[in-house]
Amino acid sequence: MNNRFYTHIRIIGSALIERRKLIFILCVFLFALGLFEGFYCGFFTYPVSKPAAITYIAIYAVLTLMSLAAILLIYFTEKKDKGFWKEATYSTFFVFFAVYMMIFAVLSAYLEAAHNDAKPLSYFVVAAAVPLIILMHPTTSFTLQIGGCIALCFALSSIPEVNFSWVNYIGAMVFTGVMCVACYASFAYSKAHYLGYNKLRKESLIDELTNLGNRRNLDKQIAYVARLKTAYVFAVCDVDHFKMVNDLKGHGYGDEALRIVADTLRRYFQYAYRWGGDEFAIITRLNKEETLHRLEMANDNLRKHNLSLSVGLYCATPGEAGELAFQRADSALLQAKSHREGGIVIY
């Protein structure tokens, strides 16, 4: 996936999730409006003009259903963890919602002009503002607004009864420009907020020295894996004689040794963490034999740098508490360190 497109999806989705209470209230209002106008057209407009009433009822029925879908989406995802799929779902749904609101604005203004001789421009401006409240990506909003203005102008020019002048609709274009500037500012703020939040979040979950996940990250992963109800392997690793390495060769070399260990573990395991000091942890859904094989290969590579890892291994059952798995792996590590350098003990 294009990185810029991916980032924009996350920015829009993140902003929509943060504004979900405002959007929820707006969608409740639109739902009530759709029901009221639909019943009103059914009871009062239908006896006078059946084609107009059917058109009105159709567009308000779709508005009601989309508003209801938005309400249900916000309600049922409220307690879900914020992540890419939640952000992508919000972005995709509300893009379609915004597009429909623009179509709704043009059709409603056209019908008002054709049947009720109302001021279509004012109706359009009010209805077309909704997508900009829901969606704040500047390029998309600008395209919707300009496209809606042009479509409305051509539609109204086909109605003989409407005293149409392109000059009268310059106001709509000005409105579009002002709203898109506001939209751009909103998007810029959301982007800065999203990138800043992500940077802080990454710094809080990544160990600065080794660039592996830190203890907080490990705790989150333990809780996540336990919720998956699948078997997993937990390994706790300790660098052999690390204190001696620090004392004899200095802390600078010790830091470099930790980076070498981190790079080696990262090569063989997707989820490796620095637990603290010279201790590392691994969580994997590989089977026991494959995990052992990879740990042995990691130790073979580390021995080229005069380093080795003692490892305690525990194979957790589906749904088993992560704290218990860690305690058992740590217990196995103590046995491994008492045997020999580079030893691996399974609990």
- 171-190 residue pLDDT tens: 556 666 665 666 566 666 66
Question: Quick one: pLDDT at residue 210?
Answer: 85
Q: What angle do CA 300, 325, 330 make, to 5 degrees?
A: 55
280-286 mean pLDDT: 87
Under the banding of pLDDT at 50, 70 and 90, the label for residue 85 is confident
pLDDT of 271 reads 86
Torsion of CA 250, 253, 258, 261, to 10 degrees: -130
Check pLDDT > 80 for residue 19: no
Report the CATH number of the 215-346 domain: 3.30.70.270
Residue 160: φ, ψ to 5°:
-60, -35
Q: What is the pLDDT of residues 204-225, one digit of tens each?
A: 778 878 888 888 888 888 777 7
What letter does residue 162 receive in the DSSP assignment?
A: S
* 335, pLDDT greater than 70: yes
Letter string b/e over residues 73-86, b meaning 16 or more CB atoms within 10 A of that residue's CB: bbeebeeeeeeeeb
Given its phi and psi angles, is residue 71 left (phi above 0), alpha (psi -120 to 50 degrees) or beta?
A: alpha
Cα(155)–Cα(14) distance, integer angstroms? 36
- Across the chain, mean pLDDT equals 76
pLDDT tops 80 at residue 161:
no
The per-residue pLDDT for 245 is 78
Residue 201 has a pLDDT of 65
If one compares 152 and 291, the residue with the highest pLDDT of the two is: 291
Mean pLDDT of the 189-194 span: 65
- Which range has highest mean pLDDT (33-47, 197-211, 307-321)? 307-321
Q: For residue 269, how many other CB atoms are within 10 A of its CB?
A: 20
Q: What are phi and psi of 285, to 5 degrees?
A: -100, 10
SS3 of 119, please?
A: coil
**Percent of the chain at pLDDT above 90?**
2
Task: In whole angstroms, give the CA distance from residue 133 to residue 139.
Answer: 14
Query: Is 60 exceeded by the pLDDT of residue 52?
Result: yes
State the pLDDT at residue 47: 67
pLDDT at position 72, please? 92
Q: Would strands 232-239 and 309-316 be described as parallel, antiparallel, or unpaired?
A: antiparallel
> For 95-132, what is each residue's pLDDT tens digit?
788 778 777 777 777 776 666 555 555 555 555 555 55
Q: What pLDDT, on the 0 to 100 scale, is given for residue 144?
A: 65
Give the pLDDT band of residue 248 (cuts 50, 70, 90): confident
Of 134, 132, 135, 127, residue with least CA distance to 152? 127
Tell me if the pTM is above 0.95: no
Strands (DSSP E) contained in the chain are: 232-239, 272-276, 279-284, 309-316, 344-346
3-state secondary structure (DSSP) of residue 139: helix
pLDDT in tens, 287-309: 888 888 898 899 888 888 888 88
Phi, psi values for residue 17, rounded to 5°: -65, -40
C-alpha span between 276 and 221 (Å, rounded): 16
Asked if 104 and 124 touch (Cβ cutoff 8 Å), the reply is: no
pLDDT value at residue 102: 74
Q: Is a pLDDT exceeding 70 seen at residue 202?
A: no
Q: Residue 65: which pLDDT band, with cuts at 50, 70 and 90?
A: very high
- The mean per-residue pLDDT over the stretch 131-141 comes to 57
Burial call 326-335: b when 16+ CB within 10 Å, e when fewer: bebbbebbee
